[in-house]
Amino acid sequence: MFNKIILVGNLTRDIELKYAQGGSAIANTAIATSRKFTVNGEKKEETCFVDITFFGRSGEVANQYLRKGSKILVEGRLKFDQWVDQASGQKRSKHSVIVETMQMLDSRGEVSSASGSNNYDSGSSDNYSVGYDAPAPKAYTPPPSYNKPAPVRMPENNLPEIDINEDEIPF
């Protein structure tokens, strides 16, 4: 089966960083993404709030560079959580996203703590681990140069014709 989701939006709260007993980082936050549309000539907007979780080094990087309001693109997989509410005893559920890659979209001047490269892939081979009582991890230093791969040109006959109203773009 294929489970992939891509979201672009703003963080709704600062990142909450914890460490598992094995030392790997777990960072939780949420993202808000919106869609603008028109119904019967009336402009409307709907906003979707989704919890997101980073694991490992990407969680530490996200915690260091991102804050509430930061614009970010995340790619990951959708996860369905179920639990029984302690207070009411009712079954509860929600969807969340496990982040596999992220791209920070704020310009360098907009977020005072952000610097360097705006891309991070949690699929790296970093075996970085920190225990509960270990000192804080060292600051993330992006690679000296990051060259984005050249875009791949699609053959002319495979390009779809898309008519998009700018009001429908969520960012």
Reduced to 3 states (helix: H, G, I; strand: E, B; else coil), residue 63 is helix
* Length reported for the chain: 171
Inter-residue contact 8 to 105 (CB < 8 Å): yes
Residue-wise pLDDT tens for the chain (171 aa)?
Answer: 889 999 999 999 999 999 999 889 999 999 999 999 999 999 999 999 999 999 999 999 999 999 999 999 999 999 999 999 898 999 999 999 999 999 999 865 454 443 334 455 544 433 333 333 444 445 555 555 555 566 655 555 555 566 667 776 666
Q: Which two tokens stand for residue 84?
A: 């029984």
Inter-residue contact 40 to 108 (CB < 8 Å): no
pLDDT at 1: 81
Inter-residue contact 123 to 100 (CB < 8 Å): yes
Distant-in-sequence, close-in-space partners of 55: CB < 8 Å, separation ≥ 6? 24, 25, 26, 27, 98, 99, 122
Reduced to 3 states (helix: H, G, I; strand: E, B; else coil), residue 157 is helix
pLDDT at 131: 37
Q: Where do the domains of the chain lie?
A: 5-168
Measured in degrees and rounded to the nearest 5, phi and psi for residue 103 equal -135, 120
Distance, CA of 48 to chain centre: 14
Q: Can you name the CATH fold of 5-168?
A: OB fold (Dihydrolipoamide Acetyltransferase, E2P) (2.40.50)
Cα–Cα distance between 121 and 102 in angstroms, integer? 6
pLDDT at 127: 36
